[in-house]
Amino acid sequence: MMEILEVGYKANGRSLITDVSLRIEAGRFVAIVGPNGAGKSTFLKLLTGELTPACGSIRLEGRDLKRYRQPELARRRAVLAQQNHVSLPFSVREIVMMGRYPFHKNAPEERDFAIVEACLREVEMLGLADRVFPTLSGGEQQRAQLAKALAQIWEITGAFLFLDEPTNGLDLRHQCHSLEIARQLAGKGTGVVAVLHDLNMALQYADEVVMMQHGKVYAKGRPEETLTEENIRRVFDVQVRLVKLPESGERIVLEVGNRKSAIGNQESAISDRKSAIGK
């Protein structure tokens, strides 16, 4: 379990995260949503240990995250970052094997090779395993990086998987497939924390949704409690309707327009200008 208590973070004298408290249980899929610049990635980096809080504490299994050594942390959690640049000519298989580095001493063993193959199969990348990573398309690179993260936590019970916009660059089928993999991992006891922009994906896959705004938690709880029309309007500044699908009862978010439309703003700017020049 992860316990986040009154965490704050500052950069260049500016507060990016303020007073965030949260419990993340293993076996749950938590989606972090919010507009651009809300602090989602910064918060995720605090959870992974990449950044250190300026105040408050983050505890993993009852122990402060700051007290974990890097190799120890690497055996408990995996991260799919938003940007994963690889310029060296590693093959896809070699990239995925990097997820096994925290577990073998000098060279990979038979078990590591088997896990790499299983993870490549999981993300449907077996056919591209020998390709040089930088020659892959954006979506293929994203799936290879997901396979690497899976390889890292493949055999760990109660591990955590942190995903920053995991559906970035993926086609619709692979978006669903990636989140389905994460969902299944949660079903087997992994704690999944994913930054998602697609509110419908959050509704469909998450057990809990944390909605952030201006570096703070605006709302948190079950998806249907958090992703309400009112919360979405207030936080994203957009009008939506939540519609129930008759066949399954599932709810979907339909965007029905910006609160302040760009055209409306342009029209008022033109009329302001006309009155300023006396027309």
CB nearer to ligand ATP: pick between 4 and 151: 4
Smallest distance, Å, CB 212 to ligand ATP? 7
Token match 């208590």: residue?
Answer: 5
CB nearer to ligand ATP: pick between 32 and 97: 32
Smallest distance, Å, CB 119 to ligand ATP? 26
Q: Of 11-19, 63-71, 73-81, 198-206, which part binds ligand ATP (CB under 6 A)?
A: 11-19
| Tokens standing for residue 228 | 């309400």
Alpha helices in the chain (DSSP H): 40-48, 70-74, 92-97, 110-122, 138-153, 172-187, 199-205, 223-226, 229-236, 262-276
CB nearer to ligand ATP: pick between 41 and 141: 41
Burial class (CB in 10 A: 0-12, 13-18, 19+), 275: exposed
CB nearer to ligand ATP: pick between 119 and 199: 199
CB nearer to ligand ATP: pick between 43 and 133: 43
The verdict on 42 binding ligand ATP (CB under 6 A) reads yes
- Residues forming beta bridges with residue 11, ordered by sequence position: 14
Instruction: List the one residue out of 247, 195, 222 whose CA is nearest residue 46.
Output: 195
| Tokens standing for residue 266 | 């342009």
DSSP run (H or E) holding 163: strand 160-164
Report the site for ligand ATP in 22-41 (rule: CB under 6 A): 34, 36-41
The verdict on 18 binding ligand ATP (CB under 6 A) reads no
Binding residues for ligand ATP, total number by CB under 6 A = 12
Q: Residue 204: CA atoms inside 13 Å, Cβ hemisphere, count?
A: 17
The verdict on 14 binding ligand ATP (CB under 6 A) reads yes
- By CB under 6 A, name the binding residues for ligand ATP: 11-12, 14, 16, 34, 36-42
